[in-house]
Amino acid sequence: MRELTVLYDADCGLCRRFRSWLAVQAPGRGGPDGVVRMRFVAAGSAYARRLYPQLNHEATLRDVTVVADDGSVYIGDRAWIICLWATRDHRQTAIRLTRPGMQPVVRAMVLAAAGLRHFTVDRSGGDYADGCDGQCDHQR
């Protein structure tokens, strides 16, 4: 696997932040260094529909969906894990999350993110994250 396409909800601040974080983790280098190249496509867009006519595009707006260059499709929990696996720094975490007994933990994390997403999505184009002045990133 050399490339993943991540379909994300471009109208969701949380999803856009996840996309930005992933872009930094796997900055487009696919190959022997262990990083899988990622490209990002707005879920439900005309472009996404042309690329993947076989997908349920309404569902891609509800759950993160990832399509691998070999045709594999990952949805929800599995999509989050494959995104982590695609990065050099978080691959071991992804592998640990696939161990027996970890599925409830992963599911809880995904449901928590979905709950936050529910409160942040504003289909009019804005959300609480858009009002962030970026200062919180500098206070760590």
Find the domain containing 75 and state its range: 3-126
Whether residue 18 lies inside any domain: the answer is yes
At 84, the pLDDT band (50, 70, 90 cuts) reads confident
Whether residue 132 lies inside any domain: the answer is no
Question: Average of pLDDT values for 45-50?
Answer: 97
Whether residue 138 lies inside any domain: the answer is no
pTM score, two decimals? 0.72
Residue-level pLDDT at 126: 42
Dist. CA 119–CA 94, nearest whole Å: 27
Residue-level pLDDT at 36: 86
Residue 95 neighbours by CB under 8 Å, 6+ apart: 85
Whether residue 140 lies inside any domain: the answer is no
E strands, 9-133, in order: 37-42, 65-68, 73-75
Q: Which residue has the higher pLDDT, 63 or 115?
A: 63
Whether residue 136 lies inside any domain: the answer is no
Q: Which residue has the higher pLDDT, 112 or 35?
A: 35
In the structure encoding, which two tokens stand for residue 65, read together? 């969906």
Q: Is the pLDDT of residue 98 over 70?
A: yes
Dist. CA 6–CA 114, nearest whole Å: 17
Distances in Å between the alpha carbon of 88 and those of 85, 92, 102, 135?
Answer: 7, 8, 21, 28
Whether residue 37 lies inside any domain: the answer is yes
Whether residue 111 lies inside any domain: the answer is yes
Residue-level pLDDT at 7: 96
Whether residue 34 lies inside any domain: the answer is yes
AA identity, residue 29: R
What total number of domains does the chain contain? 1
Residue-level pLDDT at 118: 46
Residue-level pLDDT at 63: 83
